[in-house]
Chain A
Amino acid sequence: MTGPGPAPGPAAGPESGTLLEVDHLTVRLRVEGRSRPVLRDVSLRIGPGEAVGLVGESGSGKSMTARAIGRLLPEGAAAEGAIRFQGGDVAALTGSDLRRYRSQVAMIFQDPRAHINPVRRIGDFMTEALRTNLGVRPAEAARRAVEMLAQVGIEDGERRLRQYPHQLSGGLLQRVMIAAALLTGPRLLLADEPTTALDVTTQAEVMAILDDLRRELHLGMLFITHDLELAAAICDRTAVMYAGQIVEVRASARLHDDPLHPYTAALAAARPDITRVAPRLRAIPGRPLSAFEAPDGQCAFAPRCAYAQDACRETAPGMAELDGGLSRCLRASELRGKLAEPEAADA
């Protein structure tokens, strides 16, 4: 268990209102002259102060979703559907409105060493947005940066501001990234596997800092990870992605014990559990599909699904509501309660 801190109970759930809304988002990229979908009909809602997890295997479209929200899609990408932030259409933003949006929506990237300019000082990196976009004087910006560094547990902030990225460890650098993201006073954090590149002990520390500060500052967060348990530990709700689609959205607390989609169950079972001795690790048969590989007109997970029936290979399931969650499975209600027992999948 790398996720520290208490898992939020139902009482700590999201409040009303919507901070960010992703509405039927489909994104296509041009690859070798052909248009290929990377996201298919993704819908997601994040309330103010709510943490939503986005879980899936590599290539499932998690990062692409965050990039679409951050308006960072690669050149030549075509998006359908809408992304609304505090009610406003994100796609329509230009110039200073777009810059204001970007100071409201801060991104934390996976690999801080690659995502921080190596030839500029930590101080330059941290205060750049403050100085450039918000017109804060350099001395004041530096003071705020030192203060924020203290909040993420870096005490000798003034010395750190004068250092270069290569002089800091990965864990420190990721804290710097988090502090920098918080400096502009954002309302929403997009955290794209913020701890994947760190070693395990550092992971827990960084995760705890991120989680505490987010709660304290009452920020919405989209937390991207491939780790179902980690998402469950720090997020109110979790969305599971497969082949460019969201296949399940559910309160994190219930995701592990009461999944609504066979893929979620398989993902949970694939994670080794140190409290139980398993004869062998349970891998999901087959390999994960990219969105563009997924066949049309059938369930994308059907070829790997232990519960697939003929119907699953003949119709593409839509999102259906079930017990407060959403599932993209034809047999969701039928399989209810059977999925959490991974042994059943062996049959």
Chain B
Amino acid sequence: MLGRFLARRLAMLLASLLVASFVIFAALYAAPGNPVAALSGGRSLPAASLAVLEQRYHLNDPFFVQYWYWLSGALHGNLGISITLRENVSTLIASRIWTTAGLVAYASVLIVIFGIGLGVLSGLRRGLVDTGTLLLTAISAAIPGFVAAIVLILVFAVDLGWFPALGNGTGFVGNLQHLTLPAVALAISSLAIVARVTRAAVRTESGREHVQTAVSRGIPARLLIRRHVLRNAAIPITTITGITIASLIALDAVIETAFSLNGLGAYLVQAAESKDLAVVQGISLVLVTAFVVVNLIVDLLYAVLDPRVTLGSRAQ
């Protein structure tokens, strides 16, 4: 059961990657500008060097042939060579992936702890806690990441000087310090959404008939909340948290750029600007994989949490 499910999901992952790579390739191909201009830095090159470049990067071949060159390379584990840095794309990605992974993981931890925490608290308690959370989440849900980034840099880095404004830092503590403001900026609006959905799920589950059954049997409130309210609310909460964390992967480019972090997201933006196709494709490959894997984990968790869901079964 599990094996077949995983095999199907793996096939879906490969299909997603193929489609994504084609779309990205086509988009960059159609976009204005050309890679030679990026290579030459705007200077006009002698015809001979131009020909060498065009040949090396297959720039004159038809679209599908170019795509095929890239695809077959990628299938052999060769993601190609960056046009601007003239380095192996795999090496370039490897040197940056941990910044991005760290940032997304940090933001995810913030979302899980504070988003779910606030949601559970305000779902269980009416009154001041609830109203406060509603107000807070209404505001923070409306803050785009780049605005949060600017405000956070201004207040906590420039004015208060508690955290560094830019860069990656060194060592675990250094990394953590440098990633704190970006992680908050990345998490803030998603955190609000997770808190809202959690609150609603807790409210819904508290009102279920089976909770009343448990009350009628004299189950103490603490156990009632844990076994019947939170246990059941965990199903929708897991779903929304998973979707949210997956979406961080896409949002992270903006935040990395705002904080000058040397991660995949910021690099993706630079590479797209200079039409560095191999790099854009390579990074996209990694990001799409991460996205699909996060979703896969959510699906697995979902089947663990809800016995009515069986892995890999189609809707009956």
Contact = CB atoms under 8 A, between A and B. Distances in A.
Interface of A: 70, 72, 98-103, 106-107, 109, 111, 114-121, 128-129, 132-133, 164, 166, 184
Given A72-B212, A101-B218, A121-B307, 19 more contacts: A102-B217, A103-B217, A107-B213, A109-B212, A111-B209, A114-B208, A114-B210, A117-B210, A117-B213, A118-B308, A119-B305, A119-B306, A120-B231, A128-B214, A128-B217, A132-B220, A164-B308, A166-B308, A184-B217
Given A111-B209, A164-B307, A117 B214 contact: yes
Contacts of B96: none
Contacts, number: 73
Contacts of B215: 72
Given A99-B218, A114-B208, A132-B220, A109 B307 contact: no
Contacts of A102: 216-218
Interface in B99-155: none
A184 B214 CA distance: 13
Interface string B289-301: 0000000000000
Interface of B: 208-210, 212-220, 223, 227-228, 231-232, 235, 305-308
A49 to B, nearest CB: 22
Contacts of B208: 114, 117
Contacts of B209: 109, 111, 114-115
Contacts of A111: 209
Contacts of B210: 114-118
A128 B217 CA distance: 9
A294 B228 CA distance: 38
Q: Which of A109, A121, A128, A129 counts the most B-chain CB atoms under 10 A from its CB?
A: A128
Given A72-B212, A98-B218, A128-B214, A117 B308 contact: no
Contacts of A70: 216
Contacts of B217: 102-103, 106-107, 128-129, 133, 184
Contacts of A100: 218
B235 A119 contact: yes
20 contacts: A70-B216, A98-B218, A103-B217, A107-B213, A107-B216, A109-B213, A114-B208, A114-B209, A115-B209, A115-B210, A117-B228, A117-B231, A118-B210, A119-B305, A119-B307, A128-B214, A129-B219, A132-B220, A164-B308, A166-B308
Contact of A166 (B216, B219, B228, B307): B307
B220 A116 contact: no
Contacts of B307: 118-119, 121, 164, 166
B124 to A, nearest CB: 14
B302 to A, nearest CB: 11
B306 to A, nearest CB: 6
B219 A128 contact: yes
Contacts of A132: 219-220, 223
**What are the 10 A-B residue pairs with the smallest beta carbon separation, nearest first?**
A102-B218, A99-B218, A114-B209, A129-B217, A117-B210, A164-B307, A107-B216, A115-B213, A115-B209, A166-B308
A166 B210 CA distance: 14
B304 to A, nearest CB: 10
Contacts of B232: 117-119
Contacts of A120: 227-228, 231
Contacts of A166: 307-308
B305 to A, nearest CB: 7
A114 B210 CA distance: 6
Q: Which of B208, B212, B217, B232 counts the most A-chain CB atoms under 10 A from its CB?
A: B217
Contacts of B228: 117, 120
Nearest to A99: B218
B220 A99 contact: yes
Contacts of A133: 217-219
Nearest to A75: B126
